[in-house]
Amino acid sequence: MDIGQVSFKKNSTVKRIHVEKRLNDIINRLNKTKIEKTNVDLASERLQRDRELKKEERQIEKLKREQELKEIEHERELAKLRNYEGAMRPENMVSNQSYGSDVDVNEIEEDFM
């Protein structure tokens, strides 16, 4: 058996079809689009293809990393909001004693709502 030759395990399962008349118009159209390359350097083509694939993979990874950083930042912002960190500052806090005795309790409650 020659190198690159195709064979079948069982010849009895192979179906052969006899073509009575050859359709030259189809074959001619196929032959017109046929491109034969001579002196093809497959190693350099493969290296070029591998470089392009690596470049695409790097871009995809970069986009994923940026998306993850955005999600982490968003989670941090949500955690700050849930933590009430901005509400519990000393300058925002007011005690009942700071109002003094001259202010009526009903006025304070009216301010609250």
3-state SS, 47-69, equals HHHHHHHHHHHHHHHHHHHHHHH
The pLDDT of residue 62 is 98
Residue-number span of the structural domain to which 61 is assigned: 42-84
How many angstroms separate the CA atoms of 53 and 61, rounded? 12
Q: pTM of this prediction?
A: 0.46
Domain count, the chain: 1
Query: CA angle at residue 73 from 69 to 75, to 5 degrees?
Result: 115
90 belongs to a structural domain: no
10-residue mean pLDDT profile of the chain (113 residues): values are 84 89 87 88 94 98 98 93 78 72 72 64
The pLDDT of residue 81 is 83
How many angstroms separate the CA atoms of 41 and 38, rounded? 9
The pLDDT of residue 100 is 66
The pLDDT of residue 107 is 74
68 belongs to a structural domain: yes
The pLDDT of residue 19 is 83
How many angstroms separate the CA atoms of 95 and 80, rounded? 25
Cβ(49)–Cβ(43) below 8 Å: no
1 belongs to a structural domain: no
